[in-house]
Structure 1
Amino acid sequence: MIKINNLSKKYKGAEMFSVSSLDLEVEEGEIFGLLGPNGAGKTTLISMLSSLIQPTSGDFTIDSLDFKNNKRKLQQHIGIVPQEYALYPDLTAFENLMYFGSMYNLKGESFKNDIKKQLEILGLANFSNKKIKTFSGGMKRRVNLIASILHKPKVLFLDEPTVGVDVQSKNVIIAHLQALNKQGTTIIYTSHHLNEAETFCTRVAIIDKGIIVAKGTPEALIKNQPEANTLEDVFLALTGNALRDYA
Structure 2
Amino acid sequence: MTQTNPAIAVNGLTKHYGRMTALDAVDLTVPSNTMFALLGPNGAGKTTLIHILCTILAADSGTAFIAGTDLRRHPLQARKNIGVVFQEPSLDDRLTAYENLDFHGRVYAMKAADRKAGIDELLSLVELEDWRHAATRTFSSGMKRRLEIARALLHKPKILFLDEPTVGLDAQSRAGIWSYLDKLRTQRDLTIVVTTHYIEEVEACDKVSIIDHGKIIAEGSPLDLKQQYGKETARVVPRDAAIGDELRTRYNALQTGKDGSIVIDAGTPGFADQFLAEYGTRIRQVSFDMPSLESVFLTLTGRELRDRGASDGEKRAGRKGRRS
**What's the CA shift for 1:100?**
0.7
CA distance in 2, matches of 1:208, 1:231: 15
Q: Which residue of 1 aligns with 2:43?
A: 39
Counterpart pick for 2:33 among 29, 32, 35:
29
- Conservation of the 8 A alpha-carbon contact between 2:40 and 2:307: no
Write the distance in 2 (CA, Å) between the matches of 1:244 and 1:204.
16
Asked if the contact 1:122–1:172 (Cα under 8 Å) also holds between the matched residues in 2, the reply is no
Aligned counterparts of 1:112 and 1:18: Cα–Cα separation in 2: 42
What is the 5 A alignment of 1:149-168? 149-168=153-172
1:231 aligns with 2:237: no
* Cα contact 1:78–1:155 (8 A) shared by 2: yes
Pairing 1:76-95 to 2, within 5 Å after superposition: 76-95=80-99
Deviations 1:149-196 (A, max 9, x none): 001111111111111112332222212212222321011111001101
Structure 1 gap ranges (5+)? none
Cα RMSD between the aligned structures?
1.8
Distance in 2, Cα, partners of 1:231 & 1:241: 12
TM-score scaled by structure 1? Answer: 0.92
Q: C-alpha displacement at 1:83, in angstroms?
A: 0.9
Tell me the SS of whatever aligns to 1:8. Answer: strand
Supply the distance in 2 between the matched residues of 1:28 and 1:117 (Cα, whole angstroms): 23
**AA of the residue aligned to 2:161:** F
Shift of 1:23: 0.4
The 4+ residue runs of structure 1 with deviation greater than 4 A are: 242-247
CA distance in 1: counterparts of 2:207 and 2:94, whole angstroms:
39
Deviation at 1:244, TM superposition (A): 7.3
- Encode CA deviations 1:44-83: one digit per residue, 9 max, x unaligned: 1111011111111111112221112221111111111111
Q: Name the CA distance, whole Å, in 1 between partners of 2:79 and 2:303.
A: 38
DSSP 3-state at the match of 2:145: helix
Amino acid in structure 1 at the alignment position of 2:200? N
Q: Percent identity?
A: 41
Residues 31, 203 of structure 1: 8 Å contact kept: yes
- The alignment's TM-score, normalised by the length of structure 2, stands at 0.71
Number of aligned residue pairs: 244
Larger RCO (CA under 8 A, 6+ residues apart):
1
Partner residue, 1:181:
185
Separation in structure 2 between the aligned mates of residue 244 and residue 117 of structure 1, nearest angstrom: 34
Which structure 2 segments of 5+ residues have no match? Answer: 1-6, 233-290, 313-324
User: Bigger radius of gyration, 1 or 2?
Assistant: 2
